[in-house]
Each structure stands twice: as C-alpha cells, then as structure tokens.
Amino acid sequence: MTPRPMYWSIRRELWENRSVYVAPLAVAAVFLFGFALSTIMLPHHLRAAALDPAKQERMLVMPFSAAPGLIILTSFIVGAFYCLEALYGERRDRSILFWKSLPVSDLTTVLSKASIPLVVLPSIAIAVSLATQLVMLFMSTVVLSASSVGAAALWSRLPLFTMTLIMFYGVAVHVLWHAPLYAWLLQISGWARRTPLLWVVLPPLALGVFERITFHTSLVASLVSYRLIGAMRVAFVATEGHDIRRLAQLAPLRFLLTPGLWIGLIAAAAFLAAAARLRRHREPI
C-alpha cells in the first residue's frame, strides 16, 4: 500500500479538531430552528406587505443569504483559532515528540494544518450552507403551499443558482485573500511559548497606538483592515448597502490583478516555510 502522508495528516487534524465540522453544523442547526419558527408566520407577513413587492422579496430572499453568511463567517473564525492552536498545542502537550517520530516531514505537517482553514473548512462551510438552504427551501415551500400565498411567490423571486455561484466565488476569494493571515497565525503558533493570541493582537495594537501618537497617522490600522475586509472592495462591485445579488457585481479579473493578492500569497508561502522550520527546531514547552 502506498503511504499517503498528506492525506493521513489531514485525517489526523479532523480527528483531533472536531470543531472544524461541529461549529458550522451547530450554527446551521440554530439558524434552521429560528427560521422554522419565523416561517410559521411568513404567509401572514407576505400578505401584510402585499402592496410592497420589494419588501416581500427581502423577506423571502434575505434568510437564504444570511444563512450561508453566518456559516461561512463561523468557518473563518474557527480557522483562525485552529491555526493559533495547531502548532502550539502539540508543543504544549508534548505530543510533538510522538508525531515527529513518524516518517512525516515538518513541511508536510505544516501544509496539512494549513489545508484545514484553506481547503477543508471552506468546503465544509459550502456543503453545510447548501444543505441548509435546501432545508429552508423545503420548509418555506411546504408552509407557503399550505397557505393562500402559494409557493410560486418564493420560487419566482429566489435566485438560488445565482446565489450559489456568488457563494462559491466569495469563499474562494476570501480564502486566497486571508491565506497570509492563516499562515502568519500558524507561524505564531509554532513560535510562541505561551498565549499565542496575545502575540497576534498586542504587536499590531502597540504599533498602531505608537504610530497614532507619534505621527498622527493610521497606516497600521489601514493595513490590518485592508487584509481583513479588503477582498470585498477588490473582488466585488458593491452597490448601495453592499448587497451582492447579481453576477455582474463580481470582478474576478480585477481581483486577480490586484498586487495585494499576490503579495499576500508570497507572504503566506514565506510564513508557512518559517512555520515548518520552527516546528523542526522548537522544543516542547
């Protein structure tokens, strides 16, 4: 049997970190519970807004946009905390001594850990989002069909295929854009001797305060903001209210030609290489 170190390394991460798939599922379950309660009154609210088609459309479509947004946001947050713990945790509990005795290189181990926020979590978030939307569609159809409103009011207004394409595009864009952040968190996780979260938060905060007091500028804050939410500005053509509903609002060429994307990917590669080197030489805590 041919050994597959990357595959089994990723499987190991999933075995040891159940929050990777439990958290998106939990958010989806909570959202579905709330949606089920609100759907009971949906026909009444639609009839009350009969003279305002735009309001009716918002009531019908907004939950189908909100559910993936919450699930995907949860996956990004879980990915950040996972990266902070990934290398630090195995040094803290000294399990690194066992894992380093296996014929798996440090680079393979670091890349397998990086694949969780960059590949596995986004894939889980998309799958859970699609399943959640299908359940929501079924519940809404049943409730509206049993009322005088009818399910056609939902099916004629819900651009589910377009929303799915936008979701795939948005997730891919943010994965690429946030890659240096995840890689940097992995590097901090491999370097810090204690409380890696403080080493992530305090240096930029201290630099930002120093810059503001000394030079009366906010370049550090702008850089952090750009890396956190800048993908929305370069990958989408936002309208008033930043509502993305049409494929024409996607700007993939502008995104791919943005220097910040490629600088970030180069930085991500450097951070991952540093994390692999740190894992090779760092001792257990």
Is this model's pTM higher than 0.85 or not? Answer: yes
DSSP class per residue in 150-185: -THHHHTT--HHHHHHHHHHHHHHHHHHHHHHHHHH
**What pLDDT sits at residue 239?**
62
Is there a contact between 208 and 220 (Cβ–Cβ < 8 Å)? yes
Q: Where does residue 117 rank: exposed (0-12), middle (13-18), buried (19+ CB within 10 A)?
A: buried
pLDDT in tens, 222-271: 999 999 999 988 999 876 556 788 888 899 999 999 999 999 999 999 99
Q: Is 76 helix (H, G, I), strand (E, B) or coil?
A: helix
**Interior CA angle at 63 toward 58 and 68, to 5°?**
130
The whole-number pLDDT of residue 243 equals 72
Q: Check whether 285 has a pLDDT greater than 80.
A: no
Mean pLDDT of the 150-171 span: 90
Q: Is the dihedral of CA 92, 93, 94, 100 positive or negative?
A: negative
Give the pLDDT confidence score for residue 53 in this predicted structure. 80
Instruction: Give the domain ranges of the chain.
Output: 5-281
241 and 49 Cβ atoms separated by less than 8 Å? no
Going from the C-alpha of 280 to that of each of 100, 150, 201, 274, the distances in angstroms are 9, 63, 25, 10
Torsion from C-alpha of 38, 39, 41, 43, nearest 10 degrees: 150
Both tokens of 226, joined, read 């750009």
pLDDT of residue 240: 53
Please name which of 216, 221, 184 lies closest in space to residue 205, comparing C-alpha atoms.
221
Position 1 scores a pLDDT of: 41
Q: Do residues 17 and 117 lie in contact, with contact meaning Cβ atoms separated by under 8 Å?
A: no
pLDDT tens string 132-156:
999 999 999 999 888 877 888 888 8
Residue 3's pLDDT band (boundaries 50, 70, 90)? low
Split at pLDDT 50, 70, 90, the class of 213 is: very high
Query: According to the model, what pLDDT value does residue 45 have?
Result: 80
175 pLDDT tier (thresholds 50, 70, 90): very high
Q: Is the pLDDT of residue 196 over 50?
A: yes
Q: Looking at the predicted structure, is the pLDDT value of residue 60 above 60?
A: yes
What is the average pLDDT value for the chain, to the nearest integer?
Answer: 90
In this prediction, residue 68 carries a pLDDT of 94
**Concatenated DSSP letters for 192-230?**
-SS-HHHHHHHHHHHHHHHHHHHHS--HHHHHHHHHHHT
Residue 188 burial (CB count, 10 A): 22
69-118 pLDDT, tens digit each? 999 999 999 999 999 999 998 888 888 888 888 888 899 999 999 999 99
Model pLDDT, residue 242:
61
- What pLDDT, on the 0 to 100 scale, is given for residue 83? 95
33/168 Cα distance (integer angstroms): 25
Comparing 27-36, 44-53, 120-129, 151-160, the range with the smallest average pLDDT is 44-53
